[in-house]
Amino acid sequence: MTSLKTHSIFLISAIFRVGLILYGEWQDAHMEVRYTDVDYLVFSDAASLMASGHSPYKRTTYRYSPLLAFLLIPNSFLSRSWGKFLFSASDLFVGLFIHIILKQRKVPEDLCTYSLLIWLFNPFTFTIGTRGNCEPIVCAILLWIVICLMNGNVLQAACWYGLIVHFRIYPIIYALPIILFLDPCFFQSGVKPLLCDWTSDQGKTPQINSEVTDQCDVWIAFKSIFTRSRILFGLVSGSVFLFFTGFFFYLYGWEFLHEALLYHLTRTDPRHNFSIYFYHIYLNYERELSILEKLISFLPQVIVQLVLVFCFAKDLLFCFFVQTVAFVAFNKVITAQYFVWFFCLLPLILPWTNMKLKWQGLCCILLWIGAQTHWLMWGYLLEFKGKNVFLQLWVASLFFLAANTFVLIMLIRHHNYSPVFRRHAGSKTTLKSE
């Protein structure tokens, strides 16, 4: 009966997404405001160019891997909605992988169901794929990498990680926590890692720093950095990344390297941007910013990322989540699609929080949505009414950053630290003797 319930959830989710895609086609044809994301039109044009034997980068503003254009080639001869169905299928795979991960951690069925519903019926997530945004593909691959690591399949995880970093550069932030996660205390040759289940973590008080002394120590992990699993992961993922990057550089030259990779390091955007940096970008948009000015915004990100990684690396899913929230919050360009990056991880940490929906959880939800709605109000006045509200929009961006920071702190304070793996018997003794 429980299995049937889960199947029913996925079936309803699939039908719902198909309905939204079909509705989107109607809205595009009959209404002034289109349902389809403008990026999807860019993807489709790039795919059409590739199908004709041309470079996808002949389409202006196409700044993604050629793999994305290749995946959407059927848009040209099968259906213009092919990509939306592909992205929505990836969306459903994210839900499937969420369920698999939680079941492997022995999370109770009711919590698994609630977590699954948070992803599958979240308006921020189901509209992304049906409007034609590619982020669900990235989310699905990321969760598959987690499943591979949980099953001790380091080689396969490394292959997929190299691919995902090539496909969408931001997952590079997960490299350090994965390397620390591949601890010889847990990954031993010929032995499957032992998972910590949900029941063993209940009753613990929330902890932030205790893992520094209880995860074979970060210092011991660093002293043993060159272990078999870490070297394997680094070499294989690096090789896969370089293979795809080198292959497409051979085909499309500097145009590919700049548009798909380097552009995202120095990207500036004075519109549609939730970031606190947007006002500085707007004021200096007429002049070319120096490379130093473009890169200096990464400094707060790097500092926050390092602190979070060294605190939570062994609780990998929570580490990924707080990293992603912080990365997005402090990024110099923030668009609504970026929120999906951490929404796919949220259902995987909720079973380990002791925050009650009433009132703390509700407060966090309303604060985050309120801050975003406040920003969108000023954004509407600027974009659609042409009013000079740049300063007010910047203040709204500051408020949105504060809201993200508050929610992140609340989640950290109410999280029950839970390493994914437990030690094999005698692993600590063996490690120290080495």
Percent of the chain at pLDDT exceeding 90: 51
Residue 118 has φ and ψ, to the nearest 5°, of -60, -35
What is the three-state SS of 346-400?
HHHCHHHECCCHHHHHHHHHHHHHHHHHHHHHHHHHHHCCCCCCHHHHHHHHHHH
pLDDT class for 6, splitting at 50, 70, 90?
confident
- Of residues 60 and 142, more confidently modeled: 142
Q: Taken in order 202, 208, 213, 216, is the CA torsion positive or negative?
A: positive
pLDDT of 273: 78
pLDDT class for 225, splitting at 50, 70, 90?
low
Element counts in the chain: helices (H) and strands (E)? 20, 2
Average pLDDT over residues 67-76: 94
Average pLDDT over residues 397-402: 93
Lowest pLDDT segment from 2-6, 306-310, 428-432: 428-432
Question: What is the 8-class DSSP label of residue 106?
Answer: T
pLDDT of 210: 44
Assess whether pLDDT exceeds 80 at residue 426: no
3-state secondary structure of 421: strand
Lowest pLDDT segment from 180-189, 244-253, 376-385: 180-189
Assess whether pLDDT exceeds 50 at residue 215: no
pLDDT class for 205, splitting at 50, 70, 90?
very low
Cα angle vertex 154, ends 153, 158, to 5°?
A: 125
Assess whether pLDDT exceeds 60 at residue 361: yes
Average pLDDT over residues 34-39: 89
pLDDT class for 434, splitting at 50, 70, 90?
very low
**Integer angstrom CA distances of residue 395 from 57, 117, 120, 222, 403:** 36, 34, 33, 42, 12
Q: What is the largest CA-CA distance in the chain?
A: 72
pLDDT of 159: 96
Among 339, 323, 324, CA closest to 376: 339
With contact defined as beta carbons under 8 Å apart, do 237 and 159 qualify?
yes
pLDDT of 291: 67
Q: What is the pLDDT of residues 237-272, one digit of tens each?
A: 999 999 999 999 999 999 998 888 887 776 666 666
Lowest pLDDT segment from 125-134, 150-159, 198-207: 198-207
Q: What is the pLDDT of residues 270-300, one digit of tens each?
A: 666 788 887 777 777 666 666 676 667 778 8
pLDDT of 331: 87
Structure tokens at 97: 């992988």
pLDDT of 244: 95
Other CB atoms within a 10 A radius of the CB of residue 54 amount to 12
Percent of the chain at pLDDT exceeding 70: 85
- Of residues 192 and 341, more confidently modeled: 341
Distance in angstroms (rounded) separating the CA atoms of residues 139 and 285: 33
- Of residues 216 and 406, more confidently modeled: 406
3-state secondary structure of 191: strand
